[in-house]
Each structure stands twice: as structure tokens, then as C-alpha cells.
Structure 1
Amino acid sequence: MKLLLAGLALALSGAPIAAVAACRVALALGLDVSGSVDGREYRLQMDGLAAALLRPEVRSALLAMPEDPVELMVFEWSGPGDQRVVQPWQSVTGAAAIDAIAGRLQATMRGPGDPSTALGAAMRAGAAQLSSRSHCARKVLDISGDGPSNTGPLPQAIRDSAVLSDVTVNGLVIADAGTVAGMHGAADQASLDGYFQAYVIRGPGAFTEAAAGFDDYEDAMVRKLIRELQGLVLSQAERPQRSRRPSQPIGQ
């Protein structure tokens, strides 16, 4: 009511009223480029995200509400002080915007960085990016990772802090069905998924999506984006959320 009265007063005074940009969701995507990710896997991840954005089903979901668009940004992360924005915030208002984002990702080359895995620091960096999107109805942070955190603040400490109080955090777990090598030993896909479930994801409808190695990254990203953009919330009867804490947490 206060906002309505303020707007009416401005209209009656003849002062111009600034338009408020609509945004149905702000989506920040954090890509793991730590030392466990080699050059080939880096390209599979960056090009896989670009290809996922260009897939017809994702493009349709992105552009489903042109009057209430998605805002998207992409950053890569590794050590505690190594987070690099590769795609600044962009309002996805048409096919040209999607094409431009995909082209930028495809042209991005890997930069220098600490090889360690600072998952908590990555979450904090994503939260800082999302803090500027107060005009968006929802804020979502996507964190891709192929192993547990081994340096920097604990992921669960950042997850439970005020910086993510209005943010949903989803995870894309990259691990072969067998084992994934990490600085805290080997963990199978189920254990790494359990780690993300226990220590990383948060918020209404938060979930993890699994990629069977980096070769499956594009398809896994498509599944995750479709689920996020369509606002799909599955009941436990339809798909168990596996929100239990792992019996033997890895990396903590």
C-alpha cells in the first residue's frame, strides 16, 4: 500500500516514475575448475553449459515468460580466493541473449587459479553475486562439483549463514558411477551426492542432479535447468529427495 501511495504521489506531482524490471528468477551458475578438473574436462564443462543453453527445451523454458525474464550469470571457482566471473548478469529476454551467452562460454579460456577445492568460498561468492538481484522473485545458486571441499570455510557454515537466507542452492554432482578421486580419498557417486545433500544444498525444493562424469555434463545440466526453470517440485512419492545425511561423510 505504501508503494502504491508513493507511486500515486509521484504521478500526481508530474515526476517521472522509473520502471521496475521484472525478473522471475536470478540464476547464478558456479563451475568447478579446481585441480581435479583437467583441460579436457574444463572444456566439457564450459562447452556443455553453452550447449545446454542452446538446447530447444532449455531455450523454451528460458523464454517461457518474456515479460518476467530469467537473469543469469556464470562464474568458475577453485581455491578460497579464486572465483572468476565468465558471464556477467544478463537478462534473458530473447534468443539473441541466449546465443550471446553461449558464444561467450565457448570462447572462454581457462585462467590461473589455486588447484584446491574451496566449495564454501564458492558458495559465498555466489551469494554475493545474488545479493544484487533483490528485484527477482527467486534467487538460485547452482554449484557444480566433482569432489568435496578441502580448504576454506566449511560449505555447511556458509549454507547456514545469513548470506544465503533467501537463496535456494542446488548441486550438480560430477562423478562416475565407480569412484571419483578427491584430496580426501576416493568417493563413489552416491557418497558425493550424499555430501552435497548433507552440506551444500538448501532452500525450498533444493535438489542435486548427478552427471556420470564430465562426458554427461551437458545432459545433466539440461535436466537441472529444466527442473529449475519450470519450478518443478516433486513429491517423495515421485522422486525421493535423499535428504538423509550420509553415514560416513567424506571430506569433513
Structure 2
Amino acid sequence: MHTITAARPITWRLPVVLLGISGLRLDRGTRYRPARLLLFTATAALYYLLTPVLTTPAVATAYATAVWLLYYGGLSLTLGGPGRTALIARFGEDRAYAVYEVALGLLFMNQSFAQAVVIYAYGDSLPAAIPSWAAYVIGAALMAAGTFAKVWAACTVGLDTYYCRDMFAGRPLKDADGLVVAGPYRYLRNPMYGAGNLHAYGWAVWSRSLEGLAFAAAFQLGIYLFYHFSERPFIERAYVRS
């Protein structure tokens, strides 16, 4: 996930970062790369096949709600509960992290697709008083700003931090310098959680989806709850007080 703690800032190649924040990591070795690619491709194909069903309003709402619960509930239970220690005890830290990051990558994919199907299912629900040109202009501006902020932040902290590797290990990474103050972190405390989520609002505005705006807010609230109850206590314990 996106955390304000990190190892020494690293600039990744843009395509690797874009795929990484979408759920597919190609920066971690080659042994499991074919399996990761196959899983990513198969999941995307399954989304495509199920789109006619998932984009009906009732199913889209249920699917997005389930993803919200699995994403933030599962993340909190794994990183802040017994899930992490159980995985490490079963597989060892390196293999356990590999399992965790694949599962988290799938949740990243589902989070994006869940918001997409809600927006599609509930398109054109904004008040008619808002002209289409305004929705397109505002939506495009928000999508551009949010995507730029998220990619910039991910390039600054690296994908290991994006996937909360330090929290999974329960300690700072080996080359950690503490809190990041470079890139967008010079201006914002949580650029991924704040500005980085503007793209979801922009997509909803572009599609004139009132329900899409509501789910974008719900997913942003979920990540801030995770930060408040799980991530910030870890940051203070591992980086601030150490």
C-alpha cells in the first residue's frame, strides 16, 4: 500500500510503476514473473467476461461493497493483526511476503474495477444543471492531477513501500532513512491517500456518476481509516520513536 515511510527514494521506470500500482509487480526477480503475468492477464480477462453482469446496478453495488470490506478489512487484519505472523510462521518472511503482495495486487485490481463498474452502472446521475462540458473539464483535470500525484509518490518511495513491505516485516526496511521528505512528500503528508485519489473523483465526474463519487469517497475513507488505526501507529513506533 501507500505509506509515507520508506526506504531511500528510488526512481523506477514509469511502465513498471504503472503496472505495479495496478497490481502487477515486475520489479521483484524473474522466478515468478510468468505466473504473475498469467494471473494478471487471466484476472483482466475474467473482468471483461463478467462486465455485463457486474455493471448492473445491484451487482455493481454489492461487488464494490465486498471489495471495500476485503481490501481494508483484509489489509488491516494482515498487517495489523495475526495474518502477517501466521503467514511468516508458515512460509518464512520472503515467501510469505510474495504471497501477500500477489494477494494485495489482486485487491488493487479489484478496487479499481469495482469503482469502474459502479461508475458505469450509475452513469449520468449527476444533476442535469451541471453541463456536460463542465463535467468533462473538471473530470479530466482531476484525473490528470490524481494520476500524476500517485505515480510521482510511487516513484519517490518505491514499490516495496507502496506494498507496505516494512509493515509486513514489522520493522523498517534495511536501507530505510525514516520519513520521506522528497518529491510530493515535501508538500503533502499523504499524497497517495489525498491527491492520489483525485483520479477516482475525476472519473466519476467525467461519467456524471453521483454514486461513483460516493464510492470514491468511501474508498478514500477506507484508506484513511487504515492509516489512522494501523499504519500511523507502525510509523510512530518504527520510524519516529526509534
Query: Fold conserved (TM > 0.5)?
Result: no
Please tell me the TM-score bracket, short chain as reference. Answer: under 0.3
Which one scores higher on RCO, CA 8 angstroms, separation ≥ 6? 2
Greater Cα radius of gyration, structure 1 or 2:
1
Larger % of helix: which?
A: 2
Q: TM-score, normalization: structure 1?
A: 0.24
TM-score under structure 2 normalisation?
0.25
